[in-house]
Amino acid sequence: MRIRELQWEDFHPLVENYLALYEEVKEHPDLGISLFPHPPTVLEETEWFARVFKSAHSGSGVAVVAEENGRAVGLCDVQPKGPQETRHVGVLGIVVARGQRGRGIGRALMQGAIDRCRGKFELVELSVFENNLPARRLYESMGFRTWGTLPKGVKRNDRYINLVFMVSELK
């Protein structure tokens, strides 16, 4: 497994990994990732990928993938939070394909992304389902600390899950 910069050729495997989460959530309703009510269309996924790709390659954001046997199996991206006054804050998103989790790929992806964030962002923030204890432990071990909780921040199948907000100050 290696961590590298996002490439355009990663589009199909990353979209396949993401769309597979819709089936996985049916089996495991507590899966700690926010999804749209319906799987996105190919056009919507293309627009999303193009934004992440452009941001990473223009230098405004960061996007790294984990590659296993020549195929992207995970993505970690950090995008600017918003307008000029908050651009020192990056928002981190991460996903690792089913069957690849629990092998240190998430940690390697985060480390690769955070290393590339230094000098670009001062703070990196993320949100995580309160019941996603493995992810929360990973984030804490990487220097993230909780700064707040949104009660009932996620509603899935008429069930609420609290959303925890975490931040890391890059030095």
Residues 6+ apart with CB under 8 A from 57: 6
Length of the chain equals 171
Residue 6: pLDDT band with limits 50, 70, 90: very high
Question: Over 90: is that where the pLDDT of 122 sits?
Answer: yes
Contact 52, 61 (CB under 8 A): yes
Dist. CA 157–CA 140, nearest whole Å: 29
Q: So what's the architecture of 2-120 in CATH?
A: 3-Layer(aba) Sandwich (3.40)
Tens of pLDDT along 141-160? 999 999 999 999 999 888 99
Confidence of residue 95 (pLDDT cuts 50, 70, 90): very high
* HEC per residue, the chain: CEEEECCHHHHHHHHHHHHHHHHHHHHCCCCCCCCCCCCCCHHHHHHHHHHHHHHHHHCCCEEEEEEECCEEEEEEEEEECCCHHHCCEEEEEEEECCCCCCCCHHHHHHHHHHHHHECCECEEEEEEECCCHHHHHHHHHCCCEEEEEEEEEEEECCEEEEEEEEEEECC
Give the Cα separation of 154 and 167 in Å (integer). 19
pLDDT in tens, 22-52: 999 888 888 888 888 889 999 999 999 999 9
